[in-house]
Amino acid sequence: MAVQHAFAPRPPQNLPKTLGDLRASGWQSIPVAEELRRNAAARIAAGQPLVDGVLGFEATVIPQLENAILAGHDIILLGERGQAKTRLIRSLVELLDEWLPIVAGSEINDDPYAPVSRYGRERVAEEGDETPIAWVHRSDRYGEKLATPDTSIADLIGEVDPIKVAEGRYLSDELTLHYGLVPRVNRGIFAINELPDLAERIQVGLLNILEERDVQIRGHRIRLPLDVVLLATANPEDYTNRGRIITPLKDRFGAQIRTHYPIDTSTEVAIMRAEAELPQHGLPVNVPEYLAEILGELSQLARRSSQLNQRSGVSVRLTIANYETIVANATRRALRTGEPVVVPRISDLAAIVPSTQGKVEVEAMEEGRETEVIAQLASAAVLSVFRRRVTIDDPAAVLASFDGEVVVHTGDDLPSADYMAVLADLPALEPAARAAAGPEGARSGPELAAALEFLLEGLHLTKRLNKDASGARALYRRRR
């Protein structure tokens, strides 16, 4: 798969249009690794981030990545799923020069000063300084392939084009070749996702073109001194398993960088808020800070849970999907009850079971208990955040509100007006609910309703209230 911008910009009109104009402009050709190094050095010197939009790697992965690029190395990123490996690689395209001159009509971005294809060599030889120049945007200098067992040499390197043969060319003619992904990103970046899944014979072919600089296609032995920076991703378990990757190809990578999941909940939440795609329905959405923190904490706890298979990883996509799910559930409530703002609550956490089950794998001993495991993780996350964020000034007065047969009903289908009625009947709960809302406070009925649910759930998890639950519905009463 070649990843390109949907609408690549047009080159400026003042760029050289012939080889002679290019020479006169003083443009110099440099290897891709040197181009990346030069532009990375400029960013570092200017105090700019090496890549944009990647959070949580500033003190760990990014310094190693800077070193690798400054050293001119090919790079492999090792990490579990959902650790932004592909995003990191794609972001490196921004370190390429915006425009690159090639011999017009070249399929493999031939350098006008030193073309490597037969087409490019013959055109420059025939037309000299009048050879027309085309300009390629950096977005077109990046190629990407997901390694699968059925990936072929034709995909990566090339194949004889039967159409060109049918047009009258001889099979022995190099111009009958249709180039694969790697030659087509000559003078650019080529990335392979999940490298160990590539069959060994394909790894050998890839090594040959990158190391020996020649390829053989249907009997054609072609010298192609390609200029390509190779990037790859892999799961550590696959990469270190002997036999999954040939040693000479592994040895080619100058830098092996280990990625990781967000180290703390605050980074997890920042990524979640930046990446989530929320519905556009005309209603404002306000996700309380404590609820966003609960979702981040849930993922952090999942990565340490002995009940989940840690070899498969717990992706940040879990946090993002859960965030989108609770907003969707709260949106359904707001639309049905006519509330002016969408505010998720603790009861909306019952809706994250489907969005969680597809992104975690329970251990064999826990099979059949997925829903229970997820509920336990959610409760542990709520308890952790409640203990960090909430201090109740007068807990005795709050608990006194539940004397006798007083109970409070909650549910993801109840309008916020029902919660306002509870606060009117039990006024001692309102200061505690506003405290639970955090420094931002509860500014509207839906926000105060969400804060009240957080308070009640926190009191239950700290063993000060009893709770009878059925799905997203719950009843809170005094412990006996």
**pLDDT score of 214:** 59
Q: List, for residues 220-275, the tens digit of each pLDDT value.
A: 566 678 899 999 999 887 776 655 788 888 888 889 999 999 999 999 999 999 99
Q: Within 10 Å of residue 64's Cβ, how many Cβ atoms? A: 17
The residues, ordered by sequence, that sit 6+ positions from 301 with a Cβ below 8 Å of its Cβ are 377, 380, 381, 384
**pLDDT score of 237:** 78
Q: List, for residues 324-379, the tens digit of each pLDDT value.
A: 999 999 999 999 999 999 999 999 999 999 999 988 888 877 777 888 999 999 99
Local confidence band at 3 (pLDDT 50, 70, 90 cut-offs):
very low
What's the rounded Cα separation, in Å, for the pair 125 and 258? 47
**pLDDT score of 6:** 47
Tokens linked to 131: 């050879």
**pLDDT score of 124:** 96
Q: List, for residues 41-64, the tens digit of each pLDDT value.
A: 999 999 999 998 889 999 999 999
Dihedral (Cα; 235, 237, 239, 245), 10-degree rounding? -120
Evaluate if residue 5 carries a pLDDT over 50: no
Cβ atoms of residues 447 and 437 within 8 Å: yes
Evaluate if residue 1 carries a pLDDT over 60: no
What mean pLDDT value characterizes the chain? 88
Largest CA distance in the chain: 99
Q: List, for residues 232-242, the tens digit of each pLDDT value.
A: 999 887 776 65
With CA atoms as reference, report the closest residue to 332 among 319, 347, 342: 342
**pLDDT score of 13:** 87
Cβ atoms of residues 269 and 287 within 8 Å: no
Q: Please, what are the domains in the chain?
A: 19-258 (3.40.50.300), 265-478 (no CATH)
Q: Residue 136's beta-bridge partner residues? A: 100
**pLDDT score of 410:** 94
pLDDT top residue among 202 and 5: 202
What is the DSSP pairing of strand 214-217 with strand 473-478? unpaired
Evaluate if residue 171 carries a pLDDT over 70: no
Q: List, for residues 93-106, the tens digit of each pLDDT value.
A: 999 999 999 999 99
Local confidence band at 2 (pLDDT 50, 70, 90 cut-offs):
very low
What's the rounded Cα separation, in Å, for the pair 270 and 272? 5
What's the rounded Cα separation, in Å, for the pair 398 and 410? 17
144-163: average pLDDT: 82
Tell me the one-letter amino acid at 223. R
435-449: average pLDDT: 82
Tokens linked to 438: 């955090």
What's the rounded Cα separation, in Å, for the pair 406 and 398? 12
**pLDDT score of 417:** 93
**pLDDT score of 411:** 92
3-state SS record for the chain: CCCCCCCCCCCCCCCCCEHHHHHHHCCCCCCHHHHHHHHHHHHHHCCCCCCCCCCCCCCCHHHHHHHHHHCCCCEEEECCCCCCHHHHHHHHHHHCCCEEEEECCCCCCCCCCCCCCHHHHHHHHHHHHHCEEEEEEHHHHEEEEECCCCCCHHHHCEEECHHHHHCCCCCCCHHHEEECHHHHCCCEEEEEECHHHCCHHHHHHHHHHHHHCEEEECCEEEECCCCEEEEEEECHHHHCCCCCCCHHHHHHCCEEEECCCCCCHHHHHHHHHHHCCCCCCCCCECCCHHHHHHHHHHHHHHCCCCCECCCCCCCHHHHHHHHHHHHHHHHHHHHHHCCCCECCCHHHHHHHHHHHHCCCCECHHHCCCHHHHHHHHHHHHHHHHHHHHCCCCCHHHHHHCCCCCCEEEECCCCCHHHHHHHHHHCCCHHHHHHHHHCCCCCCCHHHHHHHHHHHHHHHHHCCCEEEEEECCEEEEEECC
Q: What is the pTM of this model?
A: 0.84
**pLDDT score of 309:** 84
Tokens linked to 196: 């160990």
Evaluate if residue 168 carries a pLDDT over 90: no
- CA–chain centroid gap for 311, Å, is 19
Percentage of residues in the chain having pLDDT higher than 70: 92
186-196: average pLDDT: 93
